[in-house]
Structure 1
C-alpha cells in the first residue's frame, strides 16, 4: 500500500534513529498488562465459490432430502384416497359344527360364500381425492420452500464469511503498517523528537485492532459452522476462502417485487392451497349428512337342495347428526376461516418484509457506490496529505494516525455495505420466489 511506501519518506535522521536505537516494545510504554495476541493468520487455502457451495447443499442437505421424501409420500397417497374401501369376503357354514357337515333335509342348512362392497355416497371419494391432491401440492411447495430457505441461508452465511475474511485481511494489513508507525513514534520519543502520547496512541490502536481481529475471528468460526451445517458437514470441517464475486444489481422496483411475490411466493401459494383444501373439507363435511351404501352378493350351496343366490343393499343412517356431522361441519368451516385469515396475514407480511428488504438493499447499494467512488478515494487522498505534512512537520502524529484509521474504517464499511446488500437480495429471493442475482 501507498502508506508503507510513504513511511520510507520519513526524514533520514529518524530512520537512522530507528536503525540504531534500542529495541523499544509496547511493554516499555504501557504498564497495564500484556497486550493479547491477534489470531494467527490462516494459511493460504483454495478459494471456493458460492455456486460450488450451493450445489453441495442442494445435494446433501438433510432438510431438503426430508422435505422431498415427504412430498413423494403425499403424492403416493392420492390414489389411495380416491379408491373404494376394500371389499369383504364372507364364508359361512350352517349345519353341524363337529363334524362340519350340512344337515340333510334341512333347507336352511348351506354353505354360504358372500362378497360385500362399501360404496360411499356419490362425490365423497372425489372430494377425498381432491383433498389428498391439494395436500400433495402443499407438501411439494414446502419442499420448494425448504430448498429456497436453505439457499437463502447459505448465501447469507457465505456473504458473512466473505465480509469477515475481507475485514480480517484489511485489519491485518493495517496492523503491520500501524506497527511501523508505532516504531517511528517510539523512536522519535526516545530521541526527544516526539512525545510519549504518540507512541501510546499507536499502541492503543494496535490493541484495538487486535480486539477487532478476535471478534472477527469469532464471527468467522460461526459463519463457517453455519455453512458446514447447511452442507451437512462437521462444524469444524475446513472451508476454502470465499472467492471474490461481481456485485449483483437490483433491477426491479418495489412494485415489481411485490407483484412477483404474489405470483411466485411459495409461502403464499401454500396459503392458497390451504384455503382450497378448507373449501373441499367443508364440502366433504356437508356430504356427511348423506348415507353411505353397501352392496352384497351371496351364493348358497345346499347339496341336495337347489343352489340359491342372494343380494343385499345396506345404507347408513346419520341418525346422530347433531353430535357428529354438525360438529364436523362447524369444525371444517372454522378451519376454512382460519386458512383465509392466514392467507391475508401472509400477504400483508410479505409486502412489509419486501419493503424492508428493498429499503436495506437500495440504501446499501447507494452506500457501496458512495464508499467506492467518493469516500475511499477522498480518505486515501487525506491520508496521503497527512503523511506529506507529517514528513515536513506541518502535521502531528495524531493527525496521521486519525487519517490512517479513517481509511481503514471506510474500507471496512464498504465491504459491510456490500455484504448487507447481497444478504438483503438473498432474503428477498426467498420471499418473491425468483432468483434475482443469477
Structure 2
C-alpha cells in the first residue's frame, strides 16, 4: 500500500511540474507572439531624409498665375484684339482705282478718247460708322470684362487649391501627432500585458489604430500630390515640380451684410459688366439695322485722255475730267425688315441674359455668404470648446489607463474624439476659407481691400 501511495505521489508531483512548465512555455510564447505581431502590423517609417518643403505664400502664387496662366494670357490677348476692332469698324472701305484702255478709240467732236483713269471712294452714311464704332467699343468692354472674369476665376480656383493644400498639410500634422500618441498608448498596453495586468486584445487594438492612422496619412499624401499637380497646371509648370507647404491663413472677417454684398456684386462683378456691355451692343446694332434705309454715297474722279481733233475750237484735243456721285437704293425690304427684326430679338435676348446673370449672382453671393457664416461658426466652436474639452478628457483617460483605473476602450474612445475634433476643425476652417474665396469671386472685389479703404475714409 505504501509503495502504491509513493508512486501516486510521484505522478502527482511530476504532473504539477509539467503543468507549470507548460504554463511558462505558453506565457513566453504569447509574449513573443505579441512582439512578433507588433512587428508585422507596424509599417516601418521611411528613413530617407526628405528636404523640408519651403513655405508657400498665396499672394506669390496669384501674382505668378496672372503672368503665366495660359487662360489669363489667352483672355488678355482676346481683349487686346477686340480693342483693335474699333479702328477696323470705323474706317472707310478701301478706295477703288481703275484704268480704261480704249481699243477702237471713241471719236468725239473735239478728238478721240484714248485712255480713261478713275478713282472712287465709298462713304457710308455717317451715322452708320458711328454706330459700328459704338458696337465695337461695347464688344471691347465685354472682352475686358471676360478677361477680368477669367482672371478672377483662375485666382479663385488657385486660392481654393491653396486652402486644400493647407488642409492636407495641417491634417498630416494632426495624424503625425495622433500616431505618436497611439504609439505611446501601445507601449503602455504592451507593458501592462507583459506584467499580466492587461490583455493582448488591448495591444492588438492599439496596433490596429496605429495602422489606420498610417492609412489616413498615406491617403492625405496622395491627395497632396494631386493638389500640387493641379496648382502646377494652372501655373503652366511641370506637373512634377515640388510645391511648398501652405502658410496658415489668417481668419477672414466679413464686415458686410448680405444686402451690401449683393449691391457690390451688381456693381463690380465682371459677368454683370459683360452682360451690360452686350446689351448696349445689341442696342447699337438695332439702330444700325434701322439706318439701312439711308443710302451710302460713292464719290469719284475720272480723267479721260483725248487726242487731237479735226476742229479749230479751243477745246479741241483737250483732256476731260469729271466727279461722278453715286448712291445705292435701299429698296429691297425683304432684306432690311428681317435685319431690323433680328436686331430687336437680339436686344430682348441680351436683356434676358443680363437678368439671368444677375439672378445667378444673387444665388452665388447668398450661397457663399451662408456657407461661410456656418463654417466659420462651427470652426470656432471646435477651436474654442470641443477640442479643449476633448484634450482634457484624453489626458485624464490616458493618466487613468496608465494607473490601471480605466479600461482601454475608454482611452481609445477619447483618442478618437480628440482626433476627429482636430480634423473637423481644420476641415470647417478650410471650408470657411474656400467659401470666403467664392464670396470674393461672386462680388468681383477684394472685400479686405474695400474694408481697409472704408476704415481710411472714416
| Counterpart residue number, 1:72 | 80
- 2:329 aligns with 317
Q: Is structure 2 residue 415 aligned with structure 1 residue 404? A: yes
Matches of residues 258-277 of structure 1 in structure 2 within 5 Å? 258-277=262-281
- Match among 142, 158, 166 for residue 170 of structure 2: 166
Is 1:184 matched up with 2:195? no
Structure 1 residues 275 and 130 mapped into 2: Cα distance closer, same or farther (>3 Å)? same
Equivalent of residue 89 in structure 2, options 81, 94, 105: 81
Residue 279 (structure 1) aligns with: 283
Measured in 2, the distance between the counterparts of 1:155 and 1:408 equals: 27
Counterparts of 1:251 and 1:93 in 2: how far apart (Å)? 81
Task: State the shift of 1:190 in Å.
Answer: 4.2
Name the counterpart of 2:102: 94
SS in 1 for 2:293: coil
Counterpart CA distance in 1 for 2:422 and 2:46 is 21
Give 1:177 shift: 1.8
How far apart in 2 are the matches of 1:297 and 1:268? 50
For the residues of structure 1 that align with 2:278 and 2:45, how far apart are their CA atoms? 54
Change (3 A) 1:407 1:437: farther
Q: Report if the CA contact (8 A) 1:37-1:210 is conserved.
A: no
Alpha carbons of structure 1 residues 63 and 39: separation in structure 2 relative to 1, 3 Å? farther
Distance of 1:25 and 1:210 partners within structure 2 = 19
Residues in 2 aligned to 1:163 and 1:143: alpha-carbon distance in whole angstroms: 30
Aligned with residue 353 of structure 1, among 351, 361, 364: 364
- Call closer, same or farther: CA 1:39–1:359 in 2, change over 3 Å: farther
SS of the residue corresponding to residue 129 of structure 1 reads helix
Cα drift, residue 22 of structure 1: 5.2
Q: 2:242 aligns with which of 238, 241, 244?
A: 238
Counterparts of residues 399-438 of structure 1 (less than 5 Å): 399-437=410-448
Per the normalisation by structure 2, the TM-score is: 0.84
Alignment of 1:29-428 (within 5 A): 43-96=51-104, 107-304=111-308, 305-322=317-334, 324-428=335-439
Determine which structure has the larger helix proportion and give its number: 2
Largest Rg, 1 or 2: 2
Matched position secondary structure for 2:323: strand
Q: Distance in 1 between matches of 2:364 and 2:405?
A: 53
Q: Give the conservation status (yes or no) of the 8 Å contact 1:39–1:214.
A: no
Structure 2 CA distance, aligned partners of 1:393 and 1:25? Answer: 22
SS in 1 for 2:101: strand
- Counterparts of 2:243 and 2:132, CA distance in 1: 49
For residues 46 and 327 of structure 2, the distance between their equivalents in structure 1, rounded to whole angstroms, comes to 80
Contact 1:29 1:200 in 2 (8 A): no
Aligned length, in residue pairs:
410
Q: Tell me which moved more, 256-265 or 55-64.
A: 55-64
Change (3 A) 1:108 1:289: farther
Write the distance in 2 (CA, Å) between the matches of 1:36 and 1:392. Answer: 29
Which 5+ residue runs of structure 2 have no aligned equivalent?
1-30, 309-316, 450-458
Question: What is the CA–CA distance in structure 2 between the aligned matches of 1:405 and 1:29, rounded to whole Å?
Answer: 23
Shift of the 231–385 alpha-carbon distance from structure 1 to 2, 3 Å rule, reads same
